[in-house]
Amino acid sequence: MVNERQLRSFVKGSRPRFEDLLGQMVEVPSISMDSSRSGDMRRMADLAKQYLAGMNAKVQVVETGGYPIVSGGWITGPECPTVTIYNHLDVQPAQEPEWKHAPFAFRNDRGIYHGRGATDDKGPALTAMFGARYAIEQGWPINIRFLWELEEEIGSPHFATGLRNHSVIPRPDSVVVSDTIWIAKGRPAVPYGLRGLLGARLILRTGEKDAHSGVTGGAARNPLAELMEVANTCVDARTGRVKIPGFYDDVVEPTINEIKDFLKSGFDVRRFKEAYGFRSLRVKDPAEVMRRIWSAPTFEIHGLSGGYHGQGIKTVVPGRAELKVSMRLVPNQTPERVFALLKKHVSRVNPSVKMEREGALYPFKGSFAGSYVDCVKRAVRAGFGKDPAFVREGGSIGAVVTMQKAWKIPILFIGLSLPEHGYHAPNEYYDWGQASGGMKTFAHYFWELAKMGTA
């Protein structure tokens, strides 16, 4: 049994140390996207290693060819189940003009922790670490490992290489990913699915250079107009329905029960519109909005270039145009198959269009039922006093699919960020409410896993 009183006092007593460690971490500007920060990235890895070693974990910085991975943990007994907690310690850039204070100067405003990376994902990483420390101090029969990546914000280019180092990053029995956001404060949300992504550039060259429309127009082909025609055959601009033949063939629709669970998440269409500054949406019904952003595929047009973009009008017929598109994918679509469908379709509509594939991520679908999920439910209830809603995320976390492919084990999500925390936005923060509830949740989760054993 978990001694609640003792756990509560452990959490309370950990607060000064937690705040100190989080402050030190936030003050290292580990911006993986900024190549001039490679020294800070190294410093981040060393600091992380030092934290785990300070809690008597065995830890190593694993080289990957890119920024390293920090891997370490405690072995209670070889016969005990092993769980790996995944977090990332690299952060988004912080150049937005809206920052009210220096983004890499940590400020603790009575339990509100300001700074870039506080909620994504340094705060949750440390929260899980304190939960683990409690479990290990209790001597519960479980092996806990941490896997801290430093390239998540740039799409995890070397993560798969790192995982091949089996001796330092062994295959666990299950994984918890702690890098997701609740839908509303006070309503714990546990995602079990992520959308994938496939990007493409459609390029059409019909001439060596731009020509004058008064001299050549009428006879000259217009690549911008032709690409707009192609785009129009790919997607219904009003409804969002993708028109590429075969595109929906592999799509697994969410069940009624899944949609019902989405509705428990506290999602609010008005707040969603406000948060993203939308004047209107394609649909109004909350269930339909959630179905679309979490469990339906999309075809988006991000840009169309070519011709003239300056002031007024310049009457050119462009010689070249480019359309930038991407598709969010859902289970069981694959980037390869969807790219093949797109290519076939585009070449039928306009054989002169050349296509370049850009970035591909597989969708992910974990389970929202079963013994691990029951453990998550009980742990979240113990930590936050409420049952979690099971939802999906519309975005992609590349490392999740990589772990699933490499290890073929259950992957669960215990995220601790809130929508108001400023994830990937200015004035990011984390707070003690989420940290203390999270420490209790993690401690309980480790207890649940220990009780379940290796069965």
Q: Which stretch binds Zn ion (CB under 5 A): 12-20, 28-36, 41-49, 121-129?
A: 121-129
Burial class of 97 by CB neighbour count within 10 A (0 to 12, 13 to 18, 19+): exposed
CB of 430 to Zn ion, least distance (A): 12
Pairwise CA distance, residues 208 & 190, whole Å: 53
- Its sign, for the CA torsion 63, 69, 70, 74, is negative
Q: Which of 149, 151, 179, 258 binds Zn ion (CB under 5 A)?
A: 179
Total residues at interface with Zn ion (CB under 5 A): 3
Q: Tell me if the bond preceding 56 is cis, omega within 30° of 0.
A: no
Q: Does 393 bind Zn ion (CB under 5 A)?
A: no
Question: Could you tell me which residues come within 8 angstroms of residue 115 by beta carbon, excluding any fewer than 6 positions away?
Answer: 23, 26, 27, 103, 104, 105, 106, 107, 428, 429
Among the listed ranges 117-125, 188-196, 251-259, 263-271, the one in contact with Zn ion (CB under 5 A) is: 117-125
Long-range interactions of 5-9: CB distance < 8 A, separation 24+: 7/134, 7/440, 7/443, 8/440
Using the minimum distance from each CB to Zn ion, give the nearer residue, 149 or 261: 149
Q: Which is nearer to Zn ion, 120 or 428 (CB)?
A: 120
Q: Does the protein bind Zn ion through residue 428 (CB under 5 A)?
A: no
Q: What three-state secondary structure class fits 419? A: helix
Piece in contact with Zn ion (CB under 5 A), picked from 7-15, 135-143, 176-184, 318-326 = 176-184
Candidate segments 39-47, 119-127, 239-247, 352-360, binder of Zn ion by CB under 5 A: 119-127
Is the Cβ of residue 120 or residue 261 nearer to Zn ion in the bound state?
Answer: 120
Q: Which of 40, 90, 120, 210 touches Zn ion (CB under 5 A)?
A: 120
The window from 130-138, 172-180, 345-353, 377-385 that contacts Zn ion (CB under 5 A) reads 172-180
Closer of 177 and 317 to Zn ion (Cβ) = 177
**Encoding tokens for residue 88?**
């990332």
**Contact status: 121 vs Zn ion (CB under 5 A):** yes
Strand-pair category, 82-88 with 143-149: parallel
Residue closer to Zn ion (CB basis): 120 or 258: 120
Q: Answer whether 375's CB lies under 8 Å from 436's CB.
A: no
Q: Is the CB of residue 269 less than 8 Å from the CB of residue 261?
A: no
Task: Give me the least distance between CB of 352 and Zn ion, in Å please.
Answer: 41
Binding interface with Zn ion (CB under 5 A): 120-121, 179
